[in-house]
């Protein structure tokens, strides 16, 4: 005759199983929280790479490889006004927003302050998607909460952060800070002296930065800097990293004297020591100008 389990024995077994299940669930809790945190960190890293491109990548000849939304479009992505949560940076993946500035070879304007820039060309434009959101809810942290965005400062900076104070109070995950950069340079003559403007000698020196601008989809945009003895270094702030053109034009007695254009890969760290060699000696001041001094 086979003997079955008594009611008390079944209750004991069920109690033991319940305790074991509770212990297992509690032990898995920290692992689940850690997985949510790792997902959050990965999402932040992917956003930074989509916006600014990977860091420290170079071709076999040492040429920097600069990619990402900023390099192609020439500005930081805009944080949409009152967007649906998770869709604040949809410029990174929404082709309907990028179609107005498609990737193509673009030329400088025919006329900007009396100078012709049509010989300058830069391949630029939207060629995304740079990022694919992990779900139909767009970009969110590992717990499904929207991320926080701040676009401000000088140079202009985009910050993307996740609020981990409740989920992971012991972890301080820093926000991803994506700033535009500063370009500082100097034009020099072949004897090493800096090229600077002097109104008394009727000498003007101007530096121009030529770059893509999504607000001007037809041609490249230009910024000007007047180089003088007081400001011998030209300075451009809030510059988007990527391949850019820098042109220096020297005029003496209103006539062209020197004109030099260089293309430079501006890194995420910016440039603080660019030198443009004009390949000409300093202009000779006329005797009349000498007599007048």
Res 228: pLDDT: 96
Q: What is the pTM of this model?
A: 0.82
Res 67: pLDDT: 87
CATH class held by domain 181-283: mainly beta
Provide the token pair at 286: 């006329």
Q: Where along the chain do the CATH 2.60.40 domains lie?
A: 181-283
Res 28: pLDDT: 45
Written as tens digits, the pLDDT of the chain (293 aa) is 556 557 676 677 677 777 666 655 555 455 677 888 888 999 999 999 999 998 877 777 777 778 899 999 999 998 877 788 899 999 999 988 878 899 999 999 999 989 999 999 999 999 999 998 878 889 998 888 889 999 988 889 999 998 876 665 556 678 999 999 999 999 999 999 999 999 989 999 999 999 998 888 889 999 999 999 999 999 999 999 999 999 999 999 989 999 999 999 998 899 999 999 999 999 986 655 555 54
Beta strands in the chain (DSSP E): 104-107, 121-124, 148-152, 157-161, 176-179, 181-188, 203-211, 221-227, 234-239, 242-252, 255-266, 271-277
From residue 90, give the alpha-carbon distance in Å to each of 87, 99, 172, 246.
5, 13, 27, 31
From residue 91, give the alpha-carbon distance in Å to each of 51, 86, 130, 208, 289.
10, 12, 9, 28, 56
CA–CA distance, 162 with 141 (Å, rounded to integer): 7
Task: Note the pLDDT tens digit of each residue in 84-114.
Answer: 889 999 999 998 887 889 999 999 999 998 9
């Amino acid at each position: 005759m086979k003997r079955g389990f008594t009611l008390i024995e079944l209750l004991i077994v069920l109690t033991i199983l319940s305790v074991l299940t509770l212990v297992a669930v509690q032990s898995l809790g920290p692992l689940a929280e850690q997985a949510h945190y790792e997902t959050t960190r990965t999402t932040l890293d992917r956003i930074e790479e989509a916006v600014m491109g990977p860091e420290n990548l170079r071709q076999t000849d040492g040429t920097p490889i600069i990619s990402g939304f900023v390099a192609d479009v020439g500005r930081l992505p805009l944080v949409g006004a009152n967007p649906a949560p998770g869709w604040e940076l949809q410029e990174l993946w929404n082709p309907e927003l990028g179609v107005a500035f498609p990737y193509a070879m673009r030329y400088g304007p025919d006329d900007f302050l009396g100078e012709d820039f049509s010989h300058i060309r830069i391949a630029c434009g939207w060629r995304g998607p740079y990022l694919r959101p992990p779900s139909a809810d767009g970009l969110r942290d590992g717990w499904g909460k929207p991320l926080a965005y701040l676009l401000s400062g000088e140079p202009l900076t985009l910050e993307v952060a996740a609020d981990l104070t409740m989920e992971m109070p012991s972890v301080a995950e820093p926000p991803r800070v994506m700033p535009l950069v500063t370009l500082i340079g100097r034009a020099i003559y072949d004897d090493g002296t800096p090229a600077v403007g002097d109104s008394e000698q009727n000498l003007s020196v101007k530096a121009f930065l030529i770059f893509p601008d999504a607000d001007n989809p037809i041609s490249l945009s230009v910024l000007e800097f007047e180089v003088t003895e007081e400001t011998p270094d030209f300075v451009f702030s809030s510059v988007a990293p990527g391949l850019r053109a820098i042109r220096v034009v020297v005029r003496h007695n209103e006539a062209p004297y020197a004109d030099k254009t260089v293309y430079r890969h501006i890194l995420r760290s910016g440039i603080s020591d660019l030198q443009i060699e004009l390949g000409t000696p300093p202009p000779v001041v006329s005797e009349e100008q000498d007599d007048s001094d």
